[in-house]
Amino acid sequence: MNTHPLVKEILFSKEEIDSRTAQLAEEIEQYYRTQDIKENTVILIGLLKGCVPFMANFIKHFNYECQTEYMVVSSYLGGTKTTGEPKINLDLNISIKDKHVLIIEDIIDSGITLDYVKNYLSFKGAKEVKIVTLLDKPEGRSVSMETDWCGFKIKNEFVVGYGLDYDERLRNLPFIAVCDVDKLDDWKW
């Protein structure tokens, strides 16, 4: 999709996202090369569905032995504000005991989702849980939660595209954009 009437402002083009993702993958790969890692394999855990474009891009640049796994954890129920109660809708079906785990997320806002998932994976016996997120909205935080690597920090605005949705739509925009939230109240798909 090229653009959309709900797009207010494009923040990052596909090219900017691509090159930042390649940088992140290289930095993270360098980090793992300095660690003592079980079977030399990192477990990448993508949080569906928002992670899809970012993770697909990331793994093409990540030159380190890895396995890809996915979880579905929901805390947004269709709107533009978090509900604050994460729920696992799709769990892992492998053991992560003593493994180095990297969570791949589209965006961190309140921090509630990542805080929950990070604790859950530690509880499952991961040796280390790191986080890479494409976007970070630091002003949105309601729990103290830092990511290890972040693509771009943004203001507290509702963004869509490149995997990020409003009401399950707009994930297919090839860029990241501020959503025109004033239009949402009486928007008809």
Instruction: In angstroms, give the least distance from the CB of 47 to Mg ion.
Output: 5
151 binding Mg ion? (CB under 5 A): no
Instruction: Compute the chain's Rg from CA coordinates.
Output: 16
Residue listed under structure tokens 């729920």: 87
Nearer to ligand IMP, 16 or 29 (CB): 16
Q: For the window 1-40, what string marks contact with Mg ion as x by the rule CB under 5 A?
A: ----------------------------------------
- Catalytic residue among 18, 91, 98, 109, which? 109
Judge whether 106 counts as a catalytic residue: no
50 binding Mg ion? (CB under 5 A): yes
Q: Could you tell me which residues come within 8 angstroms of residue 40 by beta carbon, excluding any fewer than 6 positions away?
A: 65
Q: Which residue is nearest to Mg ion (CB)?
A: 50
The amino acid sitting at 28 is I
Q: Could you tell me which residues come within 8 angstroms of residue 66 by beta carbon, excluding any fewer than 6 positions away?
A: 41, 42, 43, 44, 59
Backbone CA torsion sign across 168, 172, 178, 183: negative
Instruction: In angstroms, give the least distance from the CB of 36 to Mg ion.
Output: 31
Residue 128, classed as helix, strand or coil, is strand
Q: Could you tell me which residues come within 8 angstroms of residue 94 by beta carbon, excluding any fewer than 6 positions away?
A: 43, 67, 69
Instruction: In angstroms, give the least distance from the CB of 78 to Mg ion.
Output: 13
Q: List residues binding ligand IMP (CB under 6 A).
A: 50, 75-76, 82, 105-113, 158-160, 164-165
Which of ligand IMP, Mg ion, none lies near 187, with the C-beta cut-off 5 to 8 A by kind?
none
Please identify every residue annotated as catalytic. Answer: 109
Q: Which residues bind Mg ion (CB under 5 A)?
A: 50, 106
